[in-house]
């Protein structure tokens, strides 16, 4: 064990091992998860020592091998659905069958009639068939209404010809490969789209259908049999929803679904998964950067010091890493909360109660954009905080970034998501202005409609007053209201002089800002809610509260001039704020290693020379480098073929002195 890391662990104010179970739903669940994790980590198929040296083809092939082994293990150990999901999460790789599990099967469950489910689900679940989810076209991703692939129903043959329709997007099950040879069927062109920034282990594909015919009952049309459909989980790549519940009769009559919003409920699940994914990535990256930050010593903070400074002691490292650590916890708790919210929503929708729908939909669009942005940018911040060694793939950080960052684009492109959230906020604002009641979570928006001259500064009596959640949440809300009021002002100004579409477009920037501000309020509430879990020991809670305070105060500090200008903070409040932040950095510094240790991510999962639990970073880096494929021979092929002839020619021509 590296002595610096050991000292950090000895000096922490709480025991991370006591916190871990509360992050994963209690001791019993944690133990079950750990047992599953061991199955993976002790199996040679899942070894990670070849991970950084594999070509794309090898990565893909190994990922397929892992997938196949995973399926065997699930069967062999009779694992539950939940355990098999945990198992997949232990494998730090996009699995080529991922879409089969998270999109194809759920789409059949969510949109198929009972007959369709009966036919297709057993085939898919037993892997007798393997499916994907092909919605985006080259020309259309965000704008689903613009999709150009069409399906024409031919009543004579009771078939769809995948070629032409104008009813908006629908979901079909289309066989594209031969069951025996696995070769594409006639009329189907299918292949890999080529290398990407990340996702090397995935063969994301293109698909072209040329008058491909499928039977009528391969259009998913749950609504035909089930007039009051319960909205269900289905993975959707876009803010615009396909008409999941439309139907086409045998004679070819088309029926629109009763309420397209019903399927909104299902997106919440996907978003909760995405937020948990952000959490996992941020946890990994902060674990690596913070452990390395106490092992790495560089430069002298005081000229007279006898030892170089641990880089985590530099204020710039702390300012960058500690808020990200706060976000890692916030995303963790938020992901868990959203699952509950999804279940509540399902229940209320099944009672035909749509009251929650708007809040949940309006808010999760903003959360998706905020969280994926913070996590992806945060991964690069953590990488850079490791200096030159962060650029090595052995640090683990490049791969985390490359595989995570597309989350900013899929499941609703972030610019589009922010604007959707803003639409909801503006609607709330207008309702509040008319004196209507808002969902309880949104009632704070009422402030935004009050005239600004009535505001009074906090006038706190010292830096410590800033440590109270009540104060923090009040200012965070005030800040979001300030931003929303400004956005509405700009929107109204634009509406006064141009068309509706242009006005919204011209006001996009303040509207997007308001969406992010609201999302911050929600995330910080969820963080606070998570910390308040009664079972968490007081020592750990205090450490988490300091982390939350730091994050909240940094967010407030970023808008301090605007808050002061709006007479919500006094100059003295801002001064106290700055003092409180400096104090909190030192408090969080003490527990930084314990706070990442509590995530309990394994060395196998991190696969990082810098983030190892034992802190033996230089040994690990050096050992890993020895395995580089370019070191297989003392002189590379490139040098032999191209450099040596050039040098030898030059020496022969010009002569060579003895060195």
Ligand X SMILES: Cc1cc2nc3c(=O)[nH]c(=O)nc-3n(C[C@H](O)[C@H](O)[C@H](O)COP(=O)(O)OP(=O)(O)OC[C@H]3O[C@@H](n4cnc5c(N)ncnc54)[C@H](O)[C@@H]3O)c2cc1C
- With a CB cutoff of 8 Å and minimum separation 6, the contacts of 450 are none
- Residue 618 binds ligand X (CB under 6 A): no
- Which residues inside 150-179 make contact with its own copies, applying CB under 8 A? 175, 179
Total of residues contacting its own copies (CB under 8 A): 137
Measured from the CB atom, is 23 or 173 closer to its own copies? 173
Query: Are 271 and 368 a contacting pair, CB within 8 Å?
Result: yes
Strands 212-215 and 152-154: unpaired
Of residues 204 and 431, the one with the C-beta less far from ligand X: 204
CB of 166 vs its own copies, minimal distance in Å: 15
Size of residue set near ligand X by CB under 6 A? 32
**Identified binder of its own copies from the candidate list 6, 9, 109, 140, rule CB under 8 A:** 140
Q: Within positions 191 to 210, which residues make up the interface with ligand X, using CB under 6 A? A: 199, 204
From CA 171, how far away is CA 160, in angstroms rounded? 12
Nearer to its own copies, 403 or 528 (CB): 403
247-248/254-255 β-pairing:
antiparallel
Binding partner selected for residue 437 from ligand X, its own copies, none, CB under the kind-specific 5 to 8 Å limit:
none
Q: Which is nearer to its own copies, 434 or 658 (CB)?
A: 658
Q: 214 forms bridges with which residues in the sheet? A: 160
Residue showing tokens 């008058």? 211
Cα separation, 153 vs 38, whole angstroms:
51
Closest approach of Cβ 50 to its own copies, in Å?
Answer: 12
Structure tokens at 30: 């944690």
Residues 573-592 that bind its own copies (CB under 8 A): 578, 582
Helices (H), 223-263: none
Q: C-beta of 510: minimal distance to its own copies in Å? A: 9
Beta strands across the sheet bearing 212-215: 152-154, 159-162, 212-215
Phi first, then psi, for residue 12 (nearest 5°) are -70, 155
Single out the residue of 28, 44, 49, 128 in contact with its own copies (rule: CB under 8 A). 128
C-alpha torsion sign, points 391, 394, 397, 400: positive
Which residue matches tokens 């968490």?
536
Shortest Å distance, C-beta 255 to its own copies: 24
Residue 446 CB, nearest approach to its own copies (Å): 23
Question: Cα–Cα distance between 325 and 285 in angstroms, integer?
Answer: 9
Taking CB within 5 to 8 Å according to partner kind, which of its own copies, ligand X, none is near residue 134?
A: ligand X
250 a catalytic residue: no
Concatenate the DSSP letters of all residues of 590-617 into one string: HHHHHHHHTT---HHHH--SSS-TT--H
What is d(CA 540, CA 598) in angstroms, rounded to the nearest whole number?
Answer: 10
The DSSP H or E segment spanning 541 is: helix 538-558
Among 172, 254, 410, 613, binds ligand X (CB under 6 A): 410
Number of CB atoms found within 10 A of residue 559's CB? 21
Q: Which does 99 bind (CB under 5 to 8 A by kind): ligand X, its own copies, none?
A: ligand X
Say if CB 331 and CB 268 are below 8 A apart. Answer: no
List the interface residues with ligand X, window 58-117 (CB under 6 A).
99
Catalytic residue among 240, 411, 528, 545: 411
Contact at 8 Å (CB) between 24 and 601? Answer: no
Q: Alpha-carbon distance 231 to 267, whole Å?
A: 10
* Minimum CB–partner distance for residue 298 and ligand X (Å): 4
Residue whose CB is less far from ligand X, 141 or 463? 141
Which CB sits closer to its own copies, 29 or 196?
A: 196
Identify the burial level of 20 via C-beta atoms within 10 angstroms of its C-beta, where 0-12 means exposed, 13-18 middle and 19 or more buried: middle
Distances (CA, A) of 413 to 140, 275, 299, 410, 597: 12, 15, 42, 6, 33
- Are 230 and 240 contacting, i.e. CB atoms less than 8 angstroms apart? no
Among 80, 315, 350, 437, binds its own copies (CB under 8 A): 315
State the nearest-atom distance from the C-beta of 244 to its own copies, in Å.
Answer: 21
Residues 423-452 that bind its own copies (CB under 8 A): none
285-314 binders of its own copies (CB under 8 A): 297-303, 305, 308, 313-314
Q: What is the DSSP string of 325-337?
A: HHHHHHHHHHHHH
String marking each residue 616-635 x if it binds its own copies according to CB under 8 A: --x--xx-xxxxxxxx--xx
DSSP letter at 161? E
Site for ligand X in 418-437 (CB under 6 A): 419
219 backbone dihedrals φ, ψ, rounded to 5°? -90, 125
Residues in region 95-124 near its own copies by CB under 8 A: 96-97, 119, 122-123
User: Which CB, 20 or 616, lies closer to its own copies?
Assistant: 616
Q: What does the per-residue mask of binding to ligand X show for 127-156, with x meaning CB under 6 A? A: ------xxxx---xxx--------------
* Binding partner at 302 among its own copies, ligand X, none, C-beta below 5 to 8 Å by kind: its own copies
**Angstrom distance (rounded) from CA 204 to CA 314:** 42
Select the binding partner of residue 501 from its own copies, ligand X, none (C-beta < 5 to 8 A, by kind). its own copies
Return the closest-CA partner of residue 285 out of 258, 320, 319: 320
Q: Which two tokens stand for residue 430?
A: 């207008």
6 binds, among ligand X, its own copies, none (CB under 5 to 8 A by kind): none
3-state secondary structure of 80: coil
Residue 135 touches which of its own copies, ligand X, none (Cβ within 5-8 Å per kind) = ligand X
For residue 255, the cross-strand partners are 247
Among 230, 402, 409, 539, indicate the residue that binds ligand X (CB under 6 A): 409
Note the maximum CA span of the chain: 92
- Regarding 388 and contact with its own copies (CB under 8 A), the answer is yes
Residue 641 interface partner, choices its own copies, ligand X, none, CB cut-off 5-8 Å depending on type: its own copies
Burial environment of residue 431 by CB neighbours within 10 A (0 to 12, 13 to 18, 19 or more):
middle
Q: Nearest approach, Cβ of 497 to its own copies (angstroms)?
A: 10
Q: Judged by CB under 6 A, which of 54, 71, 214, 416 binds ligand X?
A: 416
For residue 402, the surrounding DSSP H or E stretch is: helix 397-404
> Which member of 60, 322, 599, 605 binds its own copies (CB under 8 A)?
60
Distance of closest approach, residue 129 Cβ to its own copies, in angstroms = 8
Q: List the single partner that 122 binds among ligand X, its own copies, none, CB under 5 to 8 Å by kind.
A: its own copies
Segment near its own copies (CB under 8 A), from 162-170, 470-478, 587-595, 636-644? 636-644
Catalytic residues: 411
**Residues of the shown chain interacting with ligand X in the complex, contacts defined by CB under 6 A:** 99, 133-136, 140-142, 199, 204, 237-238, 296, 298-299, 311, 314, 316-317, 385-389, 391, 406, 409-410, 413, 415-416, 419
């Amino acid at each position: 064990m590296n002595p610096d890391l050991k000292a950090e662990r000895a000096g922490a104010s709480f025991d991370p091992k006591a916190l871990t179970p509360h992050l994963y739903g209690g001791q019993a669940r944690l133990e079950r998860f750990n047992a599953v994790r061991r199955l993976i980590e002790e199996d040679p198929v899942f070894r990670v020592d070849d991970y950084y040296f594999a070509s794309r083809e090898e990565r893909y092939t190994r990922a397929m091998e892992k997938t196949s082994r995973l399926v065997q293990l699930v069967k062999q150990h009779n694992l539950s659905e939940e355990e098999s999901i945990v198992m997949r999460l232990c494998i730090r790789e996009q699995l080529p069958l991922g879409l089969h599990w998270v999109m194809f099967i759920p789409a059949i469950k969510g949109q198929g009639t009972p007959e369709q489910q009966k036919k297709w689900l057993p085939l898919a679940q037993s892997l007798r068939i393997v499916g994907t989810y092909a919605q985006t076209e080259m020309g259309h991703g965000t704008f689903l209404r613009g999709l150009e692939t069409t399906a024409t129903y031919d009543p004579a043959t009771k078939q769809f010809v995948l070629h032409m329709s104008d009813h908006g997007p629908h979901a079909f099950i289309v066989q594209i490969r031969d069951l025996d040879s696995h070769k594409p069927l006639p009329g189907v062109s299918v292949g890999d789209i080529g290398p990407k920034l990340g996702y090397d282990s995935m063969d994301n594909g293109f698909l072209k259908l040329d008058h491909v015919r499928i039977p009528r009952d391969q259009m998913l049309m749950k609504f035909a049999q089930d007039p009051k459909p319960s909205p269900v989980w289905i993975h959707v790549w876009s803010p615009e929803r396909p008409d999941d519940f439309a139907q086409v009769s045998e004679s070819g009559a088309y029926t629109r679904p009763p309420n397209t919003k019903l399927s909104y409920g299902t997106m919440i699940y996907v978003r909760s998964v995405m937020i948990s994914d952000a959490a996992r990535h941020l946890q990994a990256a902060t674990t690596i950067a913070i452990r390395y930050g106490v092992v790495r010593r560089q430069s002298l903070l005081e000229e007279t010091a006898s030892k170089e400074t641990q880089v985590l002691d530099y204020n710039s490292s702390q300012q960058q890493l500690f808020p990200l650590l706060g976000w890692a916890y916030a995303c963790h708790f938020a992901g868990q909360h959203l699952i509950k919210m999804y279940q509540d929503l399902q229940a209320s929708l099944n009672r035909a109660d749509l009251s929650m729908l708007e809040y949940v939909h309006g808010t999760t669009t903003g959360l998706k954009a905020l969280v994926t942005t913070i996590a992806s940018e945060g991964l690069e911040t953590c990488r850079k905080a490791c200096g030159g060694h962060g650029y090595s793939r052995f640090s683990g950080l490049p791969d985390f970034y490359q595989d995570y960052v597309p989350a900013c684009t899929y499941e609703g492109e972030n610019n589009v998501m922010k604007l959707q959230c803003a639409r909801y906020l503006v609607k709330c604002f207008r309702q509040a202005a008319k004196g209507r009641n808002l969902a309880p979570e949104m009632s704070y928006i009422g402030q935004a409609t009050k005239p600004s001259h009535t505001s009074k500064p906090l006038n706190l009596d010292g830096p410590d007053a800033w440590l109270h959640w009540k104060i923090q949440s009040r200012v965070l809300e005030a800040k979001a209201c300030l931003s929303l009021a400004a956005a509405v002002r700009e929107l109204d100004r634009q509406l006064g002089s141009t068309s509706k579409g242009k006005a919204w477009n011209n006001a996009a920037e303040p509207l997007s800002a308001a969406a992010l501000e609201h999302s911050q309020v929600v995330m910080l509430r969820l963080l606070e809610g998570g910390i308040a879990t009664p079972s968490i020991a007081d020592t750990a809670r205090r450490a988490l509260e300091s982390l939350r305070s730091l994050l909240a105060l940094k967010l407030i500090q970023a808008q301090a001039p605007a808050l002061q200008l709006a007479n919500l903070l006094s100059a003295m409040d801002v001064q106290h704020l700055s003092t409180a932040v400096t104090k909190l950095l030192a408090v969080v510094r003490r527990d930084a290693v314990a706070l990442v240790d509590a995530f309990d991510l394994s060395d196998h999962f991190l696969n990082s020379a810098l983030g190892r639990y034992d802190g033996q970073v230089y040994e690990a880096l050096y050992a890993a480098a020895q395995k580089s494929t370019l070191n297989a021979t003392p002189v590379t092929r490139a040098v032999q073929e191209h450099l040596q002839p050039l040098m030898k020619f030059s020496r022969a021509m010009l002569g060579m002195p003895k060195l």
